Amino acid sequence: MSKPLVVIYITICLDAVGIGLIFPILPRLLEAVAHTQNVAPYIGIMIALYAIMQFFFAPLLGVLSDNLGRRPVLLISLAGASINYLLMAFAPLLWMLFLGRAIAGLTSANVSVASAYITDISPEETRARRFGLFSAMFGAGFIIGPVLGGMLGDEWLRLPFIAAAGLNGCNLLVALFVLPESRTTRPAKIDVARLNPLRSLSWAFSMKGLAPIVLVYFILSATGEAYGVCWALWGFDTFRWNGLWIGLSLGAFGVCQALVQAFLPGPASRWLGERWAVILGIACACVSLVALAFARQGWIVFAIMPIFGLAGIGSPAFQALATRQVDPDRQGQLQGVLASAVSLASIVAPLVFSTLYLLGQKAWPGAIWLSVVVLYALAVPLVLLATAPARRAPRRSGAGAPLSP
């Protein structure tokens, strides 16, 4: 494995640890700062605020990564994340927490730029496997982050946020001193029109075969927002879990997800085909969510985790399909558009899921997972369309050739 790949994997793992640290304890921080027990709407607003900023600035960061290089944009993103966690660690007022999330959203490009970096240095036939390892490293971060965050948060409410800021600082230093640039050729100038996020989405929908890809990203991203908004709240309301047990449950999911995405995406894509690997992932997610909805004892959550982990089989194959829709010089723009689609979903979904959870919180907290199943069911026809045999983007001679792996 090449040195740049190792550095990218380490970077995304540390990033995931930093994110995972705050999940188990965020509701308690909001309760302390906002002086209320009903914090679901505040969680939804915080996530939506982050997404709004990301929606408008992700295309800019994607285009800049095509023109200026992946490395400087990644450094900016890591610096913004560090500032966010420092504000969350010491902010006494609610508006300061919101300011931190806005800064993090404005500079957020870690995942999209890292994905474009992998595309730059990877031949097409290795991308599914490398995206699988990429997802596995992110999952590995979630093995460590939530457990550590739960433990630290039970000691002192602010400690996980200080730890997250420190990890992002380490991440910034690794990228600054070790990571080389991946772009060997760059466009002569920046096309200002491409910086409009709505124009970028128009570009995506104008390309044959790309619109269903973006729509699937939108829907599946919307389903994923339910976990960030509701998991910690649901764990406390249903099982009376403290921060440690919430962290352990997220860590168990991280273990299963990491194992699945490290070893199964390549074989699953070969055996089932990429489109049916995606469908299998959705089916596993739905089975798991139904079990969670009706669970009344905490051990059921841990027992269902292996099936829940299998839900991650299709994502790397789907990413590989998406990268073949455009030429190498547009990979950063593609990742920026996909990030915008994810952000658009992240604006709407947290507000919807936080409202739904608040409505059912007292009667049946687990009902929120059935709403996610409904959304998955609506996505299946689009997945079949989006993962139909894809057109390969033409290659330009000598342009954007991948580096040696």
Fill in the DSSP letter of residue 181: P
Neighbours of 362 (CB within 10 A): 8
- Longest Cα–Cα distance in the chain: 62
* CA pair distance 295, 366, nearest whole angstrom: 8
Output Rg (C-alpha) for the chain, integer angstroms: 20
Tokens of 253: 């999911």
What pLDDT shows up at residue 275?
76
Q: What is the pLDDT of residue 179?
A: 82
The pLDDT of residue 332:
67
Question: What is the rounded distance in angstroms from the CA atom of residue 210 to the CA atom of residue 200?
Answer: 12
Question: Distance between CA atoms of 14 and 51, rounded to whole angstroms?
Answer: 21
How far, CA to CA in Å, does 218 sit from each of 31, 211, 337, 347?
30, 11, 11, 11
What integer pLDDT is reported at residue 286 of this predicted model? 94
> CA 275, CA 35: separation in Å to the nearest integer?
47
Print pLDDT tens along the chain (405 aa).
677 788 888 878 887 887 788 888 889 889 889 888 889 899 999 888 888 887 777 777 877 887 778 888 888 888 888 888 898 889 888 999 899 888 888 887 677 788 888 888 888 778 777 887 887 788 778 788 889 999 999 889 899 989 888 888 888 888 888 888 877 665 556 666 666 666 666 666 666 667 777 888 888 888 888 988 999 999 999 999 998 999 999 888 878 877 887 788 778 777 877 778 888 888 999 999 999 999 999 999 999 999 998 888 877 767 766 776 667 777 766 766 776 777 788 889 999 999 999 999 889 999 999 999 999 988 888 777 766 654 444 444 333 322 222
Prediction pTM value: 0.75
What residues have CB less than 8 Å from 171, skipping those under 6 apart? 11, 14, 15, 18, 78, 81
Q: What is the pLDDT of residue 390?
A: 45
Q: Residues 6 or more apart from 57 whose CB is under 8 A from it?
A: 105, 106, 107, 108
CATH class of 3-179+197-386: mainly alpha
